[in-house]
A = this chain, B = another copy of it.
Amino acid sequence: MTNGIKDGFYKEITPGGFGIAIKSGKVLFSEQSPFQKVEVFETDSMLGRVLTLDDLMMTTEGDEFHYHEMIAHIPMMHHKNPESVLVIGGGDGGTVREVLKHKTVKRVVLCEIDGMVIDACKKFLPTISCELDNPKVEILVQDAIEYIKDKKNEFDIVLIDSTDPMGPGEGLFTEEFYTNVKNSLKKDGIVCAQSESPFVNREEIKKMYNLLKKVFPVCSTFTSNIPTYPGGYWAWAFCSETVEPLSYFADDRYEDITKSCKIYNKEYHNARFALPNYLKELL
């Protein structure tokens, strides 16, 4: 095993042969759930506490906003009136917290397969999980593949905040699943899905977008920096039946949202859709 904590450092090396290292402190939680190893440890670093699943980096207190602001606000700001939102995975609660910044939202369903992730984050990562008890949030500890099967015309926004396409997250990267997600959308609904590292996971990205493009008439990609993911660069898919990215922008909600964010602003948002040559060729 290369990944995990050893000799005072958490190390995570991708199949590509490089990755991240973090000076680790006390392990606060480490248990095997029915799905994966769930671990939270302290660090002496600017990252604060860290959540890993099966020794893969999920999020840290110090840099989580890089991920959560992007997956939430980029799709949300392209929707005129997002009232009903489904978050798939995302048991740490960071995506839910960002979604709730939009005053239009009346209901957020969090569908996370692993209850242990939710419990560990509620206990040890309160700055991330802080909105999980909000009365607008319905938490379902359930496999999203089953949950989504019979949903029709129910969500304005679906955010797929999953782990990688191996392990418990695998079934969230299939044509059947994407089709069910599409059917769960209301008119002018938008799906945003984490889609791995453009530099490190090239084959996975190609496969994923080939499937998404079969299902969604609109399928774009945006990217941003994540300091603690190997390569420091991450991609998300923006999919819809009708909504092109950079078409509608919710100016009425903008000031509130950007004021509450460490990264998100309109220029930064628009710039996310400009991709490097190598990624454009891959897609």
Interface residues of A (CB under 8 A from B): 2, 9, 11-13, 16-23, 43-47, 63, 199-200, 223, 225-233, 258, 261-265, 267-268, 270-278, 280
A23 proximity list for chain B (CB < 8 A): 2, 13, 17-18
Q: Are B261 and A47 interface neighbours, CB within 8 A?
A: no
Bound CA–CA A232/B200 (angstroms):
12
Given contacts A268-B275, A271-B271, 15 further A-B contacts (CB under 8 A): A2-B23, A17-B23, A18-B228, A19-B21, A199-B227, A200-B227, A225-B231, A225-B232, A227-B230, A227-B231, A229-B232, A231-B232, A262-B276, A263-B277, A265-B276
A220 to chain B, nearest CB (A): 13
A272 proximity list for chain B (CB < 8 A): 271
A2 proximity list for chain B (CB < 8 A): 23
A20 proximity list for chain B (CB < 8 A): 18-21
Bound CA–CA A225/B279 (angstroms):
13
Total copies of the chain = 2
Q: Are A267 and B274 interface neighbours, CB within 8 A?
A: yes
A13 proximity list for chain B (CB < 8 A): 9, 21-23
Bound CA–CA A228/B193 (angstroms):
25
Q: Are A261 and B277 interface neighbours, CB within 8 A?
A: yes
Bound CA–CA A95/B266 (angstroms):
32
A187 to chain B, nearest CB (A): 30
Bound CA–CA A2/B44 (angstroms):
14
A67 to chain B, nearest CB (A): 13
A232 to chain B, nearest CB (A): 1
A16 proximity list for chain B (CB < 8 A): 45-47
A18 to chain B, nearest CB (A): 4
Q: Are B262 and A268 interface neighbours, CB within 8 A?
A: no
A62 to chain B, nearest CB (A): 9
Q: Contact partner of A233 among B44, B199, B232, B277, CB < 8 A?
A: B232
